[in-house]
Structure 1
Amino acid sequence: MDTLPTTKRGGGGRSKPVPASKSSLVMAFFSCVAWLYVAGRLWQDAENRNLLASLLKKNSAQRPKVLTVEDKLMVLGCRDLERRIVEAEMELTLAKSQGYLKGQGQKSGSSDRRLLAVIGVYTGFGSRLKRNVFRGSWMPRGDALKKLEERGVVIRFVIGRSANRGDSLDRNIDAENSSTKDFLILEGHEEAQEELPKKVKTFFSTAVQNWDADFYVKVDDSIDIDLEGLIELLDHRRGQDGAYIGCMKSGDVISEDGKPWYEPDWWKFGDEKSYFRHAAGSLVIISKNLAQYININREGMLLGLIDQSQTHPLCGNSYNLSEEDQWQLKIMFILLDVSGELERITSN
């Protein structure tokens, strides 16, 4: 009986291992690399999920806010306030470049003696009769007007230009001025009832640019004044900064058209319809630094309302002012019934 051939084991009876192929080693290497890549991505995704879960848990109590109309208006208001701050900074830089400082003396480069006061008498195209009455009463004319200027007091009738430039109204004023030499014509101002608030700003601004004085005075042509008493009062107050002399008023805003002192801008005052405490009346006297303040800020910061008998564009919120009674001003009101005390406001 034939027997099957046998193989004799060498080296302790163990079989010799079969060598692995090169392709198997390459596959094993790439498998390890792929496993490490997948494991790293899974670990990174797990960290991201944990971070998102913690953020979600932290903000779970906070619901997203729905923007209302008030919120949007507040955002727009902040943007507008930021724009106004930038404009104010630009105006301040301009003012400093022009040499304006609180309490500064004469204009730089000017060696002339400073005047005591510049008095502007408001007038209109149809007020020639009133002007003649003024020239025959308290207001000097001709050589007497020049002598008064030598004493440091300048008086001028203040008027703007007609809406139709160069018409008979303008020509009549030019002809009268060439004869009397007592007008301050505001070339950039249109003479109209609704433009009276702007006239105040334009007058003070023009006066402070043309004359270097301690005080600037606005007078309506409806009153008569004791000129010597006014000069004495201003001379006694000479050198004071931040001074205002005149009436201060407040009260109800008239919102009904057709009534006396009707205010077309009544809606600006809200539900209460009450004026803030403001400078008012037929006589306004301010010191030089306040006139300079108006000149610098006349385009933006000062408020002027349509009803000129109720308010002027100079109020306590526009300058750092405090209050003190003043009874020494001698004024006789002719056509205007005004109640209220005369007060002087000086800076702290």
Structure 2
Amino acid sequence: MEGLPTTTQAERRWRSKNLQTSKPSLVMAFFSCVAWLYVAGRLWQDAENRTLLSNLLKKNIEQRPKVLTVEDKLMVLGCKDLERRIVEVEMDLTLAKSQGYLKHQLRQSESSSEQKLLAVIGVYTGFGSHLKRNTFRGSWMPKGDALKKLEERGVVIRFVIGRSANRGDSLDRNIDEENRKTKDFLILEGHEEAQEELPKKVKLFFSTAVQNWDAEFYIKVDDNIDIDLEGLIGLLERRRGQDSAYIGCMKSGEVVAEEGRPWYEPEWWKFGDEKSYFRHASGSLLILTKNLARYININSASLKTYAHDDISVGSWIMGVQATYIDDNRLCCSSIRQGSFMLGM
């Protein structure tokens, strides 16, 4: 019995104490492991969330509208191609000039003849001018078969009128009925017939006439005058082949700045301190060659009109290279009031 190891009381107390103190340590270690796993899990989850958010932000950035640079904006505005477009426009202008300011082919002439016309004469008329028209048809203006024969000679004459402010009313119907019988009207469908609209009427007349007939001259005539038709045809025959001719009874005259007076010009201030109109052909009868009429047709949308139609035409011709021809035979004679002396 003496050879067996023995445990003292002190040793037993030390071992018992170690067993008691190791239990809390194990508990703490356990909770530490749990806490570490929790923190590691949160960190891993946060990393996944950051990756997801990063992908979403990248995707949104790719889908977000691109911030335009100055070069991009210039491209959008077309400025980058400006030089190329200028060259193209210059080529178009050269082509238009060679064709008499016309880029597209004219529509077929209303007359069945394929020969080139000498002139298209537009006689201004209104809804209340039925008697005047009948007087014209019985005097200098042919009617019926005689009108067709005149067209075979190369001269077209039409009464020029717009439409009523109340479209389709009795005024329009009367003109349509008269035209069915006489076939001598040029009806401007896009024009409202009114005294204050005369400057727009002259622009639309030249534009419409040049689209409907291919002629050397286009002539505007008021319906309060008589003309020597044969004398006018002779005058035009001698001018045949002359480009950019602006023919008429040339005048200038005072610009009326007082509202209420006859011939009042609302934009009088544009004509300088002397208040004098530039040189222009009297509106009673004025003649334009083909290329000038076509110029009006092409630029009609941007051409400025003034209070009077002859002033308006004169302002358009000032902007181009035109030959002014002042012919006193186209002036109103003091001997024959309301007439044009065209005797040769």
Pair 1:96–1:178, CA change in 2 (3 A): farther
Runs of 4+ residues deviating >6 angstroms: 87-100, 108-111
Contact 2:257 2:268 in 1 (8 A): yes
Q: What's the TM-score once normalised by structure 2's chain length?
A: 0.64
The amino acid of 2:190's aligned partner reads G
Contact 1:279 1:314 in 2 (8 A): no
Q: Distance in 1 between matches of 2:212 and 2:106?
A: 14
Structural mapping, 1:79-94, within 5 Å = none
2:147 alignment counterpart:
145
| Count of residue pairs the alignment pairs up | 252
Pair 1:283–1:133, CA change in 2 (3 A): same
Q: CA offset at residue 144 of structure 1? A: 0.6
Q: Distance in 2 between matches of 1:298 and 1:103?
A: 12
Pair 1:203–1:278, CA change in 2 (3 A): same
1:288 alignment counterpart:
290
Q: Distance in 1 between matches of 2:264 and 2:308?
A: 7
1:102 aligns with 2:100: yes
Tell me the percent identity. 65
Q: Where in structure 2 are there 5+ consecutive unaligned residues?
A: 1-84
SS of residue paired to 2:278: strand
1:130 alignment counterpart:
132
2:13 alignment counterpart:
none
Q: Which has the larger radius of gyration?
A: 2
Contact 2:121 2:220 in 1 (8 A): yes
1:303 alignment counterpart:
304
Q: Where in structure 1 are there 5+ consecutive unaligned residues?
A: 1-86, 343-348
Q: Distance in 2 between matches of 1:96 and 1:328?
A: 36
SS of residue paired to 1:125: coil
1:274 alignment counterpart:
276
Q: Distance in 2 between matches of 1:88 and 1:130?
A: 51
1:216 aligns with 2:218: yes
Contact 2:207 2:297 in 1 (8 A): yes
Pair 1:307–1:330, CA change in 2 (3 A): closer
Pair 1:242–1:140, CA change in 2 (3 A): same
Identify, as 1 or 2, the structure richer in helix.
2
Q: CA offset at residue 195 of structure 1? A: 1.0
Structural mapping, 1:202-281, within 5 Å = 202-281=204-283
Contact 1:225 1:330 in 2 (8 A): no
SS of residue paired to 2:204: helix
Q: What's the TM-score once normalised by structure 1's chain length?
A: 0.64
Q: Distance in 2 between matches of 1:336 and 1:328?
A: 13
Q: CA offset at residue 210 of structure 1? A: 0.3
Q: Distance in 1 between matches of 2:338 and 2:214?
A: 31
Q: Distance in 1 between matches of 2:90 and 2:173?
A: 39
